[in-house]
Structure 1
Amino acid sequence: MGKPVVLAVDDDAEVCAAIARDLRSRYGKDHQVMRADSGAQALDVLTRLALRGRPVALIASDQRMPGMTGIQLLEEARTHAPTAKLLLLTAYADTGVAIKAINDIGLDYYLLKPWDPPEDRLYPVVDDLLGDWRRENPDETSELRVLGHRWSERSHEVKTFLARNHVPYRWYDIELDAEAQRLAGLAGAGPDDMPLVLVPEGETLRAPTSRDLAGALGLRTSATQPLYDVCIVGAGPAGLAAAVYAASEGLSTVIVEREAPGGQAGTSAAIENYLGFPRGLTGADLTQRAVAQVSRFGAEVVLARDVVGLEPRGPVRAVLLEGDGEIEARAVIVSTGVSYRLLEAAGAQALTGRGVYYGATASDAPQTQGEDVYVVGAANSAGQAALNLARYASRVVLLVRGRSLEDTMSQYLSERIQAHERIEVRLRTEVECCAGDGHLETLRLRERDTGVLEEVKTNWLFVFIGASPRTDWLGSQVLRDGKGFVVTGQDLRSPGRELEWVLPREPFALETSVPGVFAAGDVRLDSMKRVASAVGEGAMSVYLVHRYLASS
């Protein structure tokens, strides 16, 4: 297939040569850097590349060119290179036009000229754009191969684990792909071995667990120290923020995550209201940046391990892991977030992972190409998923129990949903039954006000309803409300709550009923359920850990 292409476009020959030279010196090993001196020539190049099946990773174009502006070129380039990242090179006077292009054509970034020195101004931007492209287009860059059945729950779990841990892979459908059948034959694999994961430099994995997969890929699955200053349970935005602040301030830190970093936010197709990102960013991108920070400051990340218990042991808190093992720390931060509630519809449980899915990753959307897709939910997560799925599906139907989308979804998002030509919003509607032979084939919908039933055909149902905290492992010693959310700070003193507080001081703001155990993010009672607030609570919890350690 050849190296992915990076195309530089500028009508000034010297400038075009300069940016191509700078790009080639940094990225020439893994990319073919090409150049064009006009919009028309660039479109000719892109046409030839498309006919040859060559992937285009990045198009960097000057804005002020005769005949065709950079924005006009980048808009037309979407037809030839739909997955390419778009970078506009512009002057300060054109920044208003560039910002408008973020919404109008999906511009990924604009960069003011000149870009000298490239180490400070050009390369950091291009590094991020090419990194995003590689994660979004794993089939173009991957050696890891996964063979499995399209409607297999375990195959879906493996693909989700890889996608959420930013491991690129190539997917082969064993029922449709002759190459998949050939590889399975070479491996001597039968139906019980699926999914089959072919690791380039390791043993072939047969129907692996997440822990098996993590170990084979070199991801850490156990802690290395006997005692830490702080153990963080859950690697969502709150947990990652806590890890960054704790490790950067000299605390020995370990973070334990049973699935993948990012939590629910990590699966979001777009987070558009996070401060400092005017075009928004994906949950995967935010997670990848956060994990890089965590690693940079020396915190350990233990993956694919479920936490099943908490034991106070004098001045130490022990976090018990499923199967075997434990982690001892002087303080614990609980940031396990929430899970989507199960859909209470007949047949839904049997078809989970076989057409019925809770949440959605960016890699799920392309599989719905040309099909009708149904989404249940009315919060921002459901809205962003609907917009992402509508890029591929022929129609997306958003099922909402309430009377108004605006009651539960941010205004900017509900307006985009209702204006989208391929998204249909059905209010006061719920799923009564899911049915199919081996995978989802039909849904029975009920109109809540009239009771009218309707049967529709679909292979795809994505569920984004409610929030159930994962807190059973904390036991009775950590006070929770009736829904399982962790009670902290002054709420521990609320009327009707029996609390035996053993210390002369009052509980700290995010401290639970067990001294030295803190809660941050969505798992905490009355939290805001927003990424920014979770990050803030994660940072604040570390400040309180310092106070606790200093007083104990």
Structure 2
Amino acid sequence: MGQAAILTVDDDPSVSRAIARDLRRRYGDQYRVIRAGGASEALEVLKELKLRGGRVAVMLADYRMPQMNGIEFLEQAMDLFPHARRALLTAYADTDAAIQAINVVDVDHYLLKPWDPPEEKLYPVLDALLDAWQATGDQELPDIRLVGHRWSEPSFQIRDFLARNLVPYKYFGADEPEGRRLMEAADAGPESIPLVVTADGRALPRPSVQEVAEAAGLSTNPGRDFYDLIIVGGGPAGLGAAVYGGSEGLKTLLIERQAVGGQAGQSSRIENYLGFPDGISGAQLTDRARRQADKFAAETLNTREVVGLRSDGSARTLTFADGGEISAHAILLATGVSYRPLVAEGVAGLTGSGVFYGSASTEGPACAGSDVYIVGGANSAGQAALFFAKYARKVTLLVRGDSLESSMSYYLIQQLAQVANIEVRTRCEVVGAHGDGHLQAITICDSKGGTKATVECGYLFVFIGAEPRTDWLGDAVLRDGKGFIRTGSDLVVNGDRPRGWDRDRDPFYLESSVPGIFAAGDVRANSIKRVASAVGEGAMAVALVHRYLEAQ
């Protein structure tokens, strides 16, 4: 197919010639540099390349072009070459446009004009874009195929795992023709459901999540025995620490038992995160953070559950559920929180079969035309309501409190009020779930009138409370009465440091009762439960780890 192309689009002839010249100087021996004088001309070039079987590695488009601006061009160009990396050329006055491009077309980077000297301002960006493109090429990634039952909890767990880890897959019902063909080819019976067929044709009957992760190419084993910093938990705090730890030269390992991104990664839309005025999905934010961590050589370990923590002299050692161990100079606990189980008759037996914890975005299209109920009054519940309202006939938000004002951000309350098929019901709770094999109805108790009513319901999504994932710690570090990890000044009472503290200093701000063990994000006592604050604490923890290591 010949050399892959780097396409530049700019209606200013002098700028177009200049960037093409700089690109040919650096990349002309490996890539075909093509320049177009406008968006329409560039689209014709891309169509011709597509017909001839060509490949496009990178597209650089000027923002200010007549008839069609750079963002509009990149949106159309993505349909032809979805795997090409995309960058926007902007002037200093157009940084808002660059941010819009990041949100609308998932632009990988934006470049400010002028880019002189190119060795500092152009080539490093292009090198990174080309490296990313070469990692995947311009070919469709082979999909994992999953055969399952619509209302099977094990089938849902695998679908949810693949979706949250951004692993391409195709789902087929066991009663669909393609599902039956895959089962016949694998010589698999009903007892093999869920059945996973890997990209290379291997059949995995009723696989564990770790087996699915390995089949998908996710890393499940560490690359070394000892690290400078190990992070437990891959939510915003953990990802923030991984990016900063890797970028500052620490040998960093992030361990995640389920899916990188945590609860934030499940959010359909985060609209109050700095730098994204049009909002960004949790999956997009997670993917970018994970790519940043990879860029700085921070390792990520998937589907490994940590069950123990101890001190071995100056080392801190973690124990895995399978008995394996891993050690580091310092540990950051960023395990976040989990949604509290809904205690009501029938709920436990229908979990994964109509009752879901978190947004479970894979269920969105299946909710088309149905009545969806959401339990909870915080931001995550509000974001889920907006997401499912796009599919469902009606979404009802069930709130135990008197109003949303005390638990939900103002902007979300305003958005909910503007969506016609969303209803908010306060002072009510679910007291029962009913169904034969899958959820069919729920019983709601209205505390305002003291009445109970059973209503048809095929989907119930639960977002109630937050429980820290710290039971596995035992007495390794001090926790408060609710299980959140105490850190910094919370550990010093009347001038007395925590029992067993062996340093001639007070604990650092994010340090636990054991020197060298830190906590960040939602799992930390008295933390602010917001994505931005979690990311900030993750970054701050790395600075404190450096101080700890320097004093060793």
TM-score by length of 2: 0.79
Amino acid at match of 1:149: H
Number of residue pairs matched? 516
Matched, 1:230 2:229: yes
C-alpha deviation, 1:537, in angstroms: 0.7
| CA offsets 1:42-70 (integer angstroms, 9 cap, x no match) | 9xx9xxxxxxxxxxxx9x9999878xx88
| SS of residue matched to 1:181 | helix
Partners of 2:99 and 2:276 within 8 A in 1? no
| SS of residue matched to 1:251 | coil
* Corresponding residue number in structure 2 for 1:333: 332
CA distance in 2, matches of 1:427, 1:61: 50
* Corresponding residue number in structure 1 for 2:348: 349
* Corresponding residue number in structure 2 for 1:518: 518
| CA offsets 1:101-131 (integer angstroms, 9 cap, x no match) | 99xx97878999999999889989999xx9x
* Corresponding residue number in structure 1 for 2:5: none
* Corresponding residue number in structure 2 for 1:282: 281
Alignment map for 1:221-370 (pairs within 5 Å): 221-370=220-369
* Corresponding residue number in structure 1 for 2:147: 147
Structure 1 unmatched ranges of 5 or more: 1-7, 16-21, 30-34, 46-57, 135-139
* Corresponding residue number in structure 2 for 1:398: 397
CA distance in 1, matches of 2:491, 2:374: 38
C-alpha deviation, 1:476, in angstroms: 1.1
Partners of 2:89 and 2:111 within 8 A in 1? yes
* Corresponding residue number in structure 2 for 1:482: 481
Amino acid at match of 2:508: F
CA distance in 2, matches of 1:147, 1:444: 33
Q: Cα–Cα, structure 1 residues 229 and 169, in superposed 2: closer, same or farther, change >3 Å?
A: same
RMSD over equivalenced CA pairs, Å = 4.7
| SS of residue matched to 2:308 | strand
* Corresponding residue number in structure 2 for 1:449: 448
C-alpha deviation, 1:357, in angstroms: 0.5
* Corresponding residue number in structure 1 for 2:544: 544
Q: Cα–Cα, structure 1 residues 214 and 114, in superposed 2: closer, same or farther, change >3 Å?
A: same
CA distance in 2, matches of 1:93, 1:112: 10
Partners of 1:142 and 1:170 within 8 A in 2? no
C-alpha deviation, 1:423, in angstroms: 1.1
C-alpha deviation, 1:218, in angstroms: 2.2
* Corresponding residue number in structure 2 for 1:207: 206
Amino acid at match of 1:297: F
CA distance in 1, matches of 2:327, 2:125: 44
C-alpha deviation, 1:265, in angstroms: 0.6
Greater CA deviation, 178-187 or 495-504? 495-504
Amino acid at match of 1:454: A
* Corresponding residue number in structure 1 for 2:52: none
CA distance in 1, matches of 2:334, 2:419: 35
* Corresponding residue number in structure 1 for 2:158: 158
| CA offsets 1:519-546 (integer angstroms, 9 cap, x no match) | 0000000100111111111111111111
| SS of residue matched to 1:350 | helix
CA distance in 2, matches of 1:248, 1:100: 23
Alignment map for 1:55-134 (pairs within 5 Å): none
Q: Cα–Cα, structure 1 residues 106 and 277, in superposed 2: closer, same or farther, change >3 Å?
A: closer
TM-score by length of 1: 0.79
Q: Cα–Cα, structure 1 residues 298 and 202, in superposed 2: closer, same or farther, change >3 Å?
A: farther
CA distance in 2, matches of 1:367, 1:111: 37
Q: Cα–Cα, structure 1 residues 119 and 350, in superposed 2: closer, same or farther, change >3 Å?
A: farther
* Corresponding residue number in structure 2 for 1:174: 174
Q: Cα–Cα, structure 1 residues 322 and 122, in superposed 2: closer, same or farther, change >3 Å?
A: closer
| SS of residue matched to 1:230 | strand
Amino acid at match of 1:540: M
Q: Cα–Cα, structure 1 residues 231 and 107, in superposed 2: closer, same or farther, change >3 Å?
A: closer
CA distance in 2, matches of 1:124, 1:357: 43
C-alpha deviation, 1:361, in angstroms: 3.8
CA distance in 1, matches of 2:99, 2:249: 43
C-alpha deviation, 1:281, in angstroms: 1.1
Amino acid at match of 2:237: A
Q: Cα–Cα, structure 1 residues 398 and 119, in superposed 2: closer, same or farther, change >3 Å?
A: farther
* Corresponding residue number in structure 1 for 2:423: 424
Partners of 2:396 and 2:425 within 8 A in 1? yes
C-alpha deviation, 1:217, in angstroms: 2.1
| CA offsets 1:159-209 (integer angstroms, 9 cap, x no match) | 11111111111111113x111112112212122211111112152111111
CA distance in 2, matches of 1:473, 1:354: 28
After TM superposition, what 4+ stretches of structure 1 lie above 4 angstroms from structure 2? 8-12, 35-38, 60-66, 87-102, 105-127, 495-498
Identical pairs, percent: 47
| SS of residue matched to 1:541 | helix
Partners of 1:70 and 1:88 within 8 A in 2? no
Partners of 1:233 and 1:334 within 8 A in 2? yes
| SS of residue matched to 1:526 | coil
* Corresponding residue number in structure 2 for 1:373: 372
Partners of 2:244 and 2:542 within 8 A in 1? yes
| SS of residue matched to 1:406 | coil
C-alpha deviation, 1:37, in angstroms: 5.8
C-alpha deviation, 1:338, in angstroms: 0.3
